[in-house]
Structure 1
Amino acid sequence: MTATLAARINDALPQTQCTRCGYPDCAGYADAIAAGEAGINQCPPGGAEGIARLARLTGRPVLALDPQFGTEGPRSMAVIDEAWCIGCTLCLDACPPDAIVGIHKHMHTVIEAHCTGCELCIPVCPVDCISLEVETPGRTGWQAWSATQANSARERYRLHATHRPVAGSQNPEAPEEAPLDDAGSRKRAIVEAALARARAASAARKP
């Protein structure tokens, strides 16, 4: 019964996979709501209408969005300053719906139709070349999103998890990963090399 409720709750979530609710993805949040471990007012992208939908599904009272998880607002889209992009590829792993395309040491770009505005690419960019632009001025929550877009984002997230690491997910068929310390060292080395290239490019641009 709980699993069925969790599936219905997940269907009512916007599938941005932004983690602002405090869980690794929308399905994790849905499971927590169904188990009585999370409130129905922790999803900023769903906004007030999203809370109302969850209230109807769970029989809980409608509440205001809990501000500790964020505020309802227009949907944003990530934009990469291609002149500054150093091709470190860190944003590719961070993007839940694979809305960013690019290859190592070459500029990346965002596919507008696939971006959910989750903002997870922002903190991983070592040169701060990713910004946000308002995509739906005057429209927030489910007024700025649709069930079709949510379903597409969920499917892209599912595919993303098959070829990129997703926090909290496990793939028993995947080869054994390197120890965490080695993985952390590799990531630090990537970032340091990216920063070095950025500094070199900046110095070359100066008169």
Structure 2
Amino acid sequence: MSRINCPQCGEIDQVRSVPSVYQSQTSRYSGTSTGYSSGVAYASGVGAVPAYGRSTVHTSGVSTTLLARQVAPPPQPQLAKPGSGCEIASLFFLALVFLLFLLPPVLTSDKHELRGFLLAFGMLGGPPLVAGVVMAVRRAERGDRMRRQFEEYSAIQPSLAAAWRACYLCLRCNVAYLPDGEFGISPAPVVPVRDLHGLVAVTAAHLRDED
């Protein structure tokens, strides 16, 4: 019996590597569809005239089965954006609008009513200014947290990918397993297909000497 025989039934005829199962259960599609429409339009000086139109829609995507989603590979590291940039810019712009609106009367006043200007600006421009500063601080903190998560995941993703590529499925028994002795692990761990990602995580930790 070879190393990749199913540890549960001992057979090999329904054994497939996880990458091959994922590829066979995943398909990409693309297409173009054209639609036609007709109606009535009104032209100046002419009145009602028949009108015809045509629209073309391009579609593309990836279709996956339930099994493909259960055995999907570890995702590639991607640094996400913290977001809220437009909202912060809008709040600062609103505060600037209030500032420009209130400043001319103060500059043209003989007495330079600074106290009234500060009070009015605090009531009108203060809230969006404070909200913008708070959101900017939170965005910076969120960006730092995402960067740390990206760096941490980037460090472990290669071991996750290596463990994932080494796993096999027995489609008869509906189990996932690591070949006996793979990465020095014996006996071969066997789990239900739905728990494949847990097996991958444990195996990857072993590769990183974290056990």
Larger Rg: 2
- Which has the higher relative contact order, 1 or 2, with Cα contacts under 8 A spaced 6 or more apart? 2
| TM value normalised by structure 1 | 0.19
Higher helix share: 2
| TM value normalised by structure 2 | 0.18
